[in-house]
Structure 1
Amino acid sequence: MIRMMLLPLLVVLLAASGYLHAAHDPKQEADKCSPRLGNHITGVCSSSGATLSSFSDCHFICEKKDGKSTITRTKHYLPPGLPCGKCMECCVGECTPINFNFRNPLSLKSCAK
């Protein structure tokens, strides 16, 4: 009885895990940020023999498998000052709040300088 209940549950869980994994394709996530960004960063990874393994607001990670057990991950930062959220910018690979100079006219203290 328990086996009959577990098998359908396992099938549903396996199907759901495959569906969820497909929704987090790093190339597609990058393309949501800007069209063709996914192609660009995939090319950066492949130029070193690696594959794109993850994308975040301000960085992406390339992964290279050397043999059977060694995996090398390289983190690449997107340019400083790149917008990454509401009133936020990329600074050293992290999405940080923008700092304002409260003068007339209002200006920014960007980390891109």
Structure 2
Amino acid sequence: MIRMMILPLSIVLLAASGYLHAAQSVPMNPNPDTCSAGLGEHMRTRCKNFNATLISFSGCSFTCKGKNHQDKDTITKPNLMDGLPCGLCMECCGGVCTPVNIDYKNQLALESCAKQKGSS
């Protein structure tokens, strides 16, 4: 009886350790171009519109740093567009990475926050 419990537990522990190791190797501040080849350029262009440069990227927003007309430092934190994927089964909604709503009754139809805003 004990052998029958130890083997499945060992397999679960081995699988979990591999999962944890893989999760630890993901960078905390990813390069936006790993998501999409044009995402980094899109963010840099938006920062240029604020007379600033891109300094960081995090989930559904990014940070631009520049100087105003009085030569004082400015920080701007624009949001990425709603509906953009930001994680496993997640999307950007109002600058926050939120779970995707799936309607299982309607053949796995997605209810994106971007579609909801467009229809209201």
TM-score, structure 2 as length reference: 0.62
Hey, what does 2:45 align to over in structure 1?
A: 43
1:88 to 87, 90, 109: 90
1:102: Cα distance to partner?
2.5
Hey, what does 1:103 align to over in structure 2?
A: 105
Deviations 1:70-102 (A, max 9, x none): 322111111111111111111111111111222
Hey, what does 1:60 align to over in structure 2?
A: 62
Hey, what does 1:19 align to over in structure 2?
A: none
1:63: Cα distance to partner?
1.1
Equivalent-residue separation in structure 2 for 1:39 and 1:106 (angstroms) = 33
Higher strand share: 1
Aligned length: 88
SS of match in other structure, 1:89: strand
Q: Show structure 1 runs of 4+ deviating over 6 A.
A: none
2:75 to 73, 76, 79: 73
1:45: Cα distance to partner?
0.9
1:47: Cα distance to partner?
2.6
Is 74-83 or 38-47 further displaced after alignment?
Answer: 38-47
Equivalent-residue separation in structure 1 for 2:107 and 2:39 (angstroms) = 33
Structure 1: runs of 5+ lacking an equivalent: 1-22
What is the aligned-residue RMSD (CA, Å)?
A: 2.4
SS of match in other structure, 1:96: strand
Relative distance call for 1:100 and 1:46 in structure 2 (3 A) is same
Overall identity of the aligned pairs, in %: 48
